[in-house]
Structure 1
Amino acid sequence: MFFSDAHLHSNPVIGLGAGRISAKFRKEGGWFIALVALPPHYYGIKEINIESYRRVLEILNREAKAAVENGVKVVRLMGFHPAEVDGYYKQGIKGRRLYELGEKVLNLIEDALKNGLLDGIGEVGRQHYGTSVERVVVSETIMIKALEIARNYDAVVHLHLEQGGWITAYSIRKLMDLTGFKHGKIILHHSAIDTAVSAEELGLGYTIPIKSFNKEAVSLKLSNAMIESDFIDDPGRPGVASYPWEIPRVIRNYLEDNLVDEEYVYRVMVDNISKYYGVSP
């Protein structure tokens, strides 16, 4: 069997780093990871400027190279996370200044896509926790700009969203229509099951955390599903998300218990990855 992790983070500063993560995942049958950059402060970069994001891009590419050297295929994503909006807002960067910082980061991302230094955008989106209306508006406006860039470069986008079920999925479908987003490489990241079901209905891609991919979720046989660990690679927060190597272990147990068959596992672990990321084992 081939196993994929459709969304994870690595942190070579305080965590395992992509080299050790990919080596362990490979031993469990892993063939692919979607490697998503963390905000600058996770790497100890404190300055709030575009140069900090250039350093993040450099770190991401070094991490991707380390994973590829271990025989794992990788796509690289970088974005402007809704939590960054909240963090900068609390530090006094608000409104227009905050949006303009996000826009500069997206311009950097666009250049990286153009020059082969990135494969997609992520995470961008809306907060999934209580925050101010203004911050949600800033986050969503940045997301719209990201969709416009991804539209132009045929790039995949990982969206961090509230888990509102149908209305969450439908709002993204409407934004795709409004921005002329035709190629369909939209992924609703860390989806709850009701949001995943609605995304399926509306023809959207989505990732389900392996922790949420329980027997009930498996029984739905969702066609567009991909599985993620959402590993954050922070030894100070163990258990916040799953480890990548939990994915093959859980799926193998489902196979042994006849809850899924190999054809469906191949669809989720390989076919859908090829469809949304353009890579194959």
Structure 2
Amino acid sequence: MRSRLFPITDDHIHFDPVNGRGVEAAKDFLHGGGTHLFLVSKPSWSLGVEPVTGNDYARVFDETLRIAGLIRETGLVVFPILGIHPAEISRLTERMPLEDAVLVMKGGLDCAAGYVREGKAVALKSGRPHYEVSPEVFSASNVVLSHALSLAAGYRCALQIHAESGPCADVVDMARNAGMDPGRVIKHYGSPDTPLHPSLVARHEAVPVLARERRPFTMESDFMDENSRPGAVTGPKSVPRITKKLLESGTITEEDCWRIHGETVEKVYGVRIVL
């Protein structure tokens, strides 16, 4: 049953009514006790889009917003995050030179920023490949990431990044050079050693430790909602289930729940968390 005592927020989740369970998966989150979620746009290829220009990503973003509307009808609060998955660079360079791929991705981020400007999205998404790539591709990905940081700074919104495992400490200087507060750069699938804001997968062993230390972090499922990969990365109930398990065991308190799922979320993303 949905909790009325404190919020439970998943800050990185996907729902896909075409390739997955869609609203039915969102209802699992709701019935597990979830109250708020950040719906992150999926990669273009997940929706059958092959971008040639940055504006082609609008099809992906519009579909994300359509899904957000469907989920809101369940009573959940939905905050859309729009942007360009860093693995797009590998797909694009199969069809065009690296320089053109960078321009398309930067254009896609410009397109996403327009939705933030219009109040249709609350944050941007970018990053760099989390798998091994050539030095040239890695450098080009950092150019795209720097552009995303500049856009986030300009629109005063948060930026979620998908990147390699580890702290990604160099992104701190990249953010500061762009005029962006590193504390509003969220390391999706993060770890406690990052100087950025860590978003920890709910099952991460550091969640109880960071909660006891009152360190700022948020929780995510990274649920992908693909029928071909059911339950990946974790299921839609994972954030509420693990939060309640920690509460019942005495590891965290209701005050901790408000800090993790409410106050920290508000500070990082600039949104209001209200029950």
Same fold (TM over 0.5): yes
Corresponding residue to 2:15 among 1, 5, 10? 10
Corresponding residue to 1:76 among 71, 75, 80? 80
Q: 4+ residue runs of structure 1 moved beyond 4 angstroms?
A: none
| Corresponding pairs, count | 266
Q: How many percent of aligned residue pairs carry the same amino acid?
A: 25
| Aligned-partner Cα distance in 2 for 1:83–1:276 | 25
Residue pairs, 1:71-220, within 5 angstroms? 71-89=75-93, 91-122=94-125, 124-165=126-167, 168=168, 170-182=169-181, 184-192=183-191, 196-199=192-195, 204-212=196-204, 214=205, 216-220=206-210
| Distance 1:265-1:197 versus aligned 2 partners, 3 A rule | farther
| Aligned-partner Cα distance in 2 for 1:257–1:176 | 38
Give the structure-2-normalised TM-score: 0.90
Report what 2:257 is aligned to.
Answer: 265
Letter in 1 for 2:156: D
Runs of 5+ consecutive residues of structure 1 not aligned to the other structure: none
Give the structure-1-normalised TM-score: 0.88
Q: 3-state SS of the aligned residue for 1:12?
A: coil
2:224 pairs with 1:232: yes
How many angstroms does 1:20 deviate by? Answer: 2.4
CA RMSD of aligned residues (A): 1.8
| Aligned-partner Cα distance in 2 for 1:5–1:107 | 26
How many angstroms does 1:92 deviate by? Answer: 3.4
Cα displacement string for residues 175-226 of structure 1 (whole angstroms, at most 9, x for unaligned residues): 122111148421111113xxx2342xxxx322000122x2x54123352110
| Aligned-partner Cα distance in 1 for 2:44–2:8 | 29
Letter in 1 for 2:150: E
| Aligned-partner Cα distance in 1 for 2:232–2:112 | 28
| Aligned-partner Cα distance in 2 for 1:12–1:22 | 10
How many angstroms does 1:51 deviate by? Answer: 5.0
| Aligned-partner Cα distance in 2 for 1:197–1:280 | 27
